[in-house]
Amino acid sequence: MSAVDRRLSSLVVAIIVGVLTGGSVRAQDLDRDKSGPKLFATNCASCHRSPRGLAKDRFSWTLSSFLRQHYTSNPASAQTLTAYLQSVDAPRARPRPAARGSRPVTTSAAASSLRPPAPVPAR
C-alpha cells in the first residue's frame, strides 16, 4: 500500500467517524437562562451603546422574529430580549407641568404651617 493510499484511507475513516458521531453532538445553547440585560450585553452591545430606541414602534412578534433569525439561538431568548427592549422603551409616567398662574398643591402639613397659630379675633 502506497503513502497516497494510506492517506486516502485515513481520510475516508475520519470522514466516516465524523459523520457517525456528528449526529450525537449537540450544540451548546449559549443564551440559556440569561436575562434581557445580559442578552443585550452579549448580542447587541458591540454595535449599540444603549438598548433605548431599538424596540421603538415595532410589534413584539416582528422584533422577536428578527432577533431570533439574526441574534439569538432560540425563540425563548428572542422573547426575553424583546421584552427587555420594549420595557426600556416603555413610556414612563411624567408629572404634568403646572398650569401658569396656578399654585402648587400643598399637603396638609404644609398648609397647616401657613395658618396663624390662633384664631384671629373678629372686630
Estimate the crossing angle of helix 75-89 against helix 36-43, to 10 degrees: 100
Which residue segment(s) compose the domain that 56 sits in? 41-89
Q: Is there a domain that residue 45 lies in?
A: yes
Q: Is residue 76 part of a domain?
A: yes
Which of these ranges, 14-18, 23-27, 57-61, has the smallest mean pLDDT? Answer: 23-27
So what's the pLDDT on residue 83?
A: 92
Is position 58 within any domain? Answer: yes
Using the CB atoms, write b or e for 29-59: b if 16+ within 10 Å: eebeebebeebbeebbeeeeeebeebbeeee
* pLDDT at 79 (0 to 100): 92
Residue 48 lies in a domain: yes
Average pLDDT, the chain: 77
Query: Does residue 69 sit within a domain?
Result: yes
pTM of the model: 0.52
Task: Count how many domains the chain has.
Answer: 1
Confirm whether 109 is domain-assigned: no
